[in-house]
Structure 1
C-alpha cells in the first residue's frame, strides 16, 4: 500500500484520518505544522500528502508551491469558497476535500489519486483468496471464482475499506447506488454468497445491528 503523510494540526482529526488509513493498509507519518511537513519530505519519499491548508508556521498553499508538483497532494480544509478551491487546484493539488467529511469519502479520494499515480495496490490477497483489482478477477486456491458484477463490486468495496465497519445502508449506496429500490436484505444475500464462494465465513464479519466488516487483522 501507499506511504502517506497526514499533515493536520488538529490532533483529533489527524488521529482519525491516520487510524483509518492504517486500517485499510497504508503506512502513515503524521505532521502537525508546515515546518514538520517540509522536514519530512526531505527525509522521506511519500506517495501522497493529505495537507491541511491552515497549518501553523507554513500554510498548505505555500508548502504546495515549494514542493512544485513533486508529490501528489490532497488539500483538506474548512474553507468552502470557490476561490480557495481554484487556488489549491491551481497549485497542482490532485484533489480538494472540505471539512467535515465522511471517512469513506476521504478513503475513496485517496484511492482515486493513488490509482492515477499508479501507487494503489493491484492485487489483494488474504488467506487463499486473491482479488485482482485491475482485471476484476477473483481466485480461490488459484482457481478463478465466478462472481456476478454486483458480487464483485461488493467484494471490492469490502476490500478497499477492509477492517472498517460498513452499514448495510452504506453498502447499498456504494454498490447499488442512491436510486436502488430494494432493501438491506439484498446486501445480506450477496454477503452470504461471497462467504460461501470464498470460504470467508470467519473473514466477512457481521457487525450486530449494523452491517459487515472484512477483517484482515486484529480488530482495533
Structure 2
C-alpha cells in the first residue's frame, strides 16, 4: 500500500486520519507544521501528501509550491471552504481538495481514487485462500476463478478498501450501489451472504450489531 504524509496541526484530526489509513493498510507519517513536512519529504519517498492549508511556520500553499517539482500527489484538507479557496488550491497544483469536517469514508475514497489515477493503488488483495485482482475485477478461491456478479464485486471492493472499519448498511449502499439506488438495506444483507458463501469469508466479513459489516483483516 501507499506511504502517506499527513500534515495537520490539529492533533486529534491528525491522529484520527493516521489511525484510519493504517487500518486499511497504508503506512503513515504525521507532522504538525509546514517546516517539519519539508524535512520529512527530504527523508522519504511519499506516494501521497494530505496537507492542511493553515499550518504553523509555513502554510500549505507554501509547502505545495516547494514540493511541486517532486510530482507527489497532494490532497488539501482544510476548513477554507469558499470557491476562491478551492480554485486557488487546485490552480496551485493540488490534486484534490476536501473541506473539513469530512467523513473518514469520504477521505478513504478520495485517497484510493487518487492513488489509482497515479498508478500507486493496490492492484491485488490477498486474504487467506482468497485473491482479488482489483484492476481485472476477478476473485479467486484456492486459485480457482469464482463467478461473482458485478454488483457483488463492487461490494467486495468497498469492503476491501475500508477493511477493519465498520460500515453501516446505508453507507455500503451509498458506496457500492450509488446515491440513486432505490432498494432497501436488505439488499446489502443478501449480497454479503453470497460473498461469504462464494469466497468462504464467513470468518472475515463480520456482522456489526445494529449497524452493518466489517471486513476484518488481522496483520
TM range (shorter): over 0.9
Following TM superposition, by how much is the alpha carbon of 1:169 offset from its aligned partner in structure 2, in angstroms? 0.7
CA contact (8 A) 1:4 1:27 kept: yes
d(CA) in 2 for partners of 1:30 and 1:175? 30
Following TM superposition, by how much is the alpha carbon of 1:67 offset from its aligned partner in structure 2, in angstroms? 1.0
Residue by residue over 1:171-201, the C-alpha shift from the partner in whole angstroms, topping out at 9 and shown as x without a partner, is: 1111222222221111111101100111111
Instruction: Identify unmatched segments of 5+ residues in structure 2.
Output: none
Q: Which residue of 2 aligns with 1:57?
A: 57
CA contact (8 A) 1:72 1:94 kept: yes
Q: Which residue of 2 aligns with 1:152?
A: 153
Q: Which residue of 1 aligns with 2:101?
A: 100
d(CA) in 2 for partners of 1:73 and 1:40? 15
Instruction: Identify unmatched segments of 5+ residues in structure 1.
Output: none
Runs of 4+ in 1 over 4 A off after TM superposition: none
Q: Which residue of 1 aligns with 2:76?
A: 75
d(CA) in 1 for partners of 2:153 and 2:184? 19
Following TM superposition, by how much is the alpha carbon of 1:21 offset from its aligned partner in structure 2, in angstroms? 0.3
Q: Structure 1 residues 134-143 or 66-75, which shifts more?
A: 66-75
Following TM superposition, by how much is the alpha carbon of 1:167 offset from its aligned partner in structure 2, in angstroms? 0.3
RMSD value, Cα: 0.9
Q: TM-score, normalised by structure 2?
A: 0.97
d(CA) in 2 for partners of 1:66 and 1:180? 44
Residue by residue over 1:65-100, the C-alpha shift from the partner in whole angstroms, topping out at 9 and shown as x without a partner, is: 111241110001000111111111111111010001
- Please give the residue correspondences for 1:172-183 in structure 2 after superposition, counting only pairs within 5 Å: 172-183=173-184
d(CA) in 1 for partners of 2:178 and 2:47? 30
Q: TM-score, normalised by structure 1?
A: 0.97
Pair 1:216-2:214 in alignment: no
d(CA) in 1 for partners of 2:119 and 2:90? 20
CA contact (8 A) 1:34 1:58 kept: yes
d(CA) in 2 for partners of 1:138 and 1:84? 42
d(CA) in 1 for partners of 2:139 and 2:118? 24
CA contact (8 A) 1:69 1:92 kept: no
Following TM superposition, by how much is the alpha carbon of 1:161 offset from its aligned partner in structure 2, in angstroms? 0.6
